[in-house]
Amino acid sequence: MTTRAPATSAPATRAPATSAADLVHQRVVGHSLDAPFYVSEEFLALDIAAVFARSWIFVAAEAELPEPGDYVTVTIGPYSVILVRDDEEDVRAFHNVCRHRGARLLHEPHGSVGNIVCGYHHWTYGVDGTLLHAESQSPDFDPTCFGLRTVHVRTLAGLVFVSLAARPPADFDEVADRVEPYLAPHNLRRAKVARQIDLVEEANWKLTMENNRECYHCAGHPELQRCYFPLYNFTADEVPPALRATYERFLAADADARATYESLGLPYETIEELDTRPTGFRVQREPLDLAGESFTTDGRVAVRRLLADFPTARLGHLGLHTQPNAWFHLASDHAVTFAVLPLAPDRTLVRTTWLVHADAVEGVDYDPDTLTRVWNTTNEQDAVLVARAQRGISSPAYLPGPYSPTESQVEDFVNWYITRLKEHLEG
Ligand code: 3BY
Ligand code: FES
Ligand code: FE
């Protein structure tokens, strides 16, 4: 009997190197990307130029800079951006680059300043970016020409987005208008940061995002699965046998939750525009399992003081996904934001921030370990999974594989991404 190699066996040698532009144009719909997208420096540079320097990027919660003068610095590829609350209490964004001879101005990830003073020759800027002081200049020196370079910034119900583009995607305000009614009831503008955890994953940023956009792997999240229905995108007839009982519980909880949302006037219908616009997004309210209140192992609130005066804590959660780099989970008692920022082709920062009511008292209203347990454990599990994917993809034997129907949002993400690269390459 002769044996024939299956069609998917790896080629003995790799095809000659293909250009990045060719790889973008050859991308096979419904399949994971070719290896260079995940492993090469060239694609990281392209991703920064075509995606991170052009789109609206989620960078922080407003609660990270509650008072005038409070700042956060964010690294986006080679860029460093200062977010600072000005004296009118608006969030401003500037390039972290001195207008004299270019020194980086602020070095800490966050802090508080009266003015922004360059450590090199002490040029001094106000928190509105104006140059206030530059010693020993010639009489014709005009300080109004040397204010900090601004970065476009928008706040959406307490979430801060920046765009490094000269002309950012024009659809952000429309997206914000549609999403704001979902988020606003959770009062994130009045929240405080209970915890922030930075996790560096040994994987390309797209693997981190792709992993977030499916629950095909959710059996790997036993803690999360106690409170979160892992039914991502399954229609009634697609639910696998192992999840049948969960699905029945979901249907009952969903009917209940909808009645609650209706009675409280909370918008809950899914809006999904993940790959049809530059500011792709998906928003949805859905029930949680067990007590149905929060992301804890028994489904009960982790914070006694709710985010707002909700008449019930049993609101399930509001999920928001934004392209290219973020997702959010809002429950009645706390919210969690996730920002993904590339560090290297195979290293990615996942910054997770837990927000609670500004008046909630640690140790009295909440225990930080209980508050962070489910998502922190889930993140650590995901870090292992995406690092394995990165390692497998780094082998010359890797070939792109097909997405299952439950991975349709992975396809949406990749499709959105490929569209951005094509737009960039076509200038
Ligand atoms: O955060 C999310 O939306 C996805 C879905 C389930 C697991 N995962 C982290
Ligand atoms: Fe900033 Fe000279 S580089 S003051
Ligand atoms: Fe996961």
Q: How far is the centre of ligand 2, averaged over its atoms, from the C-alpha of 116 (Å)?
A: 11
Residue 97's beta-bridge partner residues?
Answer: 104
Is 157 within 8 Å of 180 (Cβ atoms)?
A: yes
Decide: 103 in ligand 2 pocket, CB within 6 A. Answer: yes
First CA to last CA across the chain, in angstroms?
55
Closest CA to 286 of 306, 309, 264, 261: 261
* CATH 2.102.10.10 domain position(s) in the chain: 61-156
Dist. CA 374 → ligand 3 center (Å)? 11
Pocket test for ligand 1, best of 327, 340, 377, 412 (most atoms within 8 A of CB): 327
Q: What is the pLDDT of residue 1?
A: 39
Cα(328) to centroid(ligand 1), Å:
9
Q: Is 100 close to ligand 2, i.e. is its CB under 6 Å away?
A: yes
The ligand whose atoms approach the alpha carbon of 100 most closely is 2
Would the CB of 182 count as within 6 Å of ligand 1?
no
**For 72-127, how does the pLDDT look when each residue is reduced to its tens digit (9 = 90+)?**
999 999 999 999 999 999 999 999 999 999 999 999 999 999 999 999 999 999 99
d(CA 223, CA 230): 12
Q: Whose alpha carbon is nearest atom 7 of ligand 1?
A: 215
Which ligand is nearest the CA of 338, by number? 1
Q: Which CATH architecture has domain 61-156?
A: 3-layer Sandwich (2.102)
Query: Strand, coil or helix: what is 42?
Result: helix
- CA nearest ligand 2 atom 4, residue: 121
Q: Is 101 in the pocket of ligand 2 (CB under 6 A)?
A: yes
| Whole-structure pTM value | 0.95
pLDDT at 124: 98
Q: What is the pLDDT of residue 13?
A: 52
Residue nearest to atom 9 of ligand 1 (CA): 212
Bridge-based pairing of strands 91-95 and 281-286 is: unpaired
Does 49 contact ligand 2 (Cβ within 6 A)?
A: no
Q: Is 231 in the pocket of ligand 1 (CB under 6 A)?
A: no
Ligand 2 atom index nearest CA of 98: 1
Residue holding tokens 């349709």? 408
Host H or E run for residue 71:
strand 70-76
Quote the pLDDT of residue 16: 56
Is the distance from CB of 339 to CB of 326 less than 8 angstroms? yes
- Low-confidence stretches of the chain (pLDDT < 50) are 1-6, 10, 12
Nearest atom of ligand 1 to the alpha carbon of 224: 7
pLDDT at 24: 98
Give the closest residue (by CA) to ligand 2 atom 3.
101
CA-nearest residue, atom 8 of ligand 1: 212
Taking the CA of residue 122 as reference, the ligand 2 atom at the shortest distance is: 4
Hey, which CATH number is domain 170-426, 3.90.380.10, 3.30.70.2500, 3.80.30.20, 3.90.1150.10? 3.90.380.10
Top mutation candidate among 101, 104, 105, 149 for ligand 2, by most atoms within 8 Å of CB: 101
Give Cβ neighbours of residue 337 (< 8 Å, ≥ 6 apart). Answer: 58, 61, 159, 326, 328, 352, 353, 355
All CATH 3.90.380.10 domain ranges of the chain, comma separated, are 170-426
CA of 131 to the centre of ligand 2 (A): 12
Ligand index nearest the alpha carbon of residue 101: 2
b/e per residue, 162-176, with b = 16+ CB within 10 A? bbbeeebbeebeebb
Does 274 sit in the ligand 1 pocket, CB within 6 Å?
A: no
Mutate to test the pocket of ligand 1, among 211, 218, 385, 408 (most ligand atoms within 8 A of CB): 218
Nearest atom (ligand 2) to Cα of 102: 3
- Report pLDDT for 63: 98
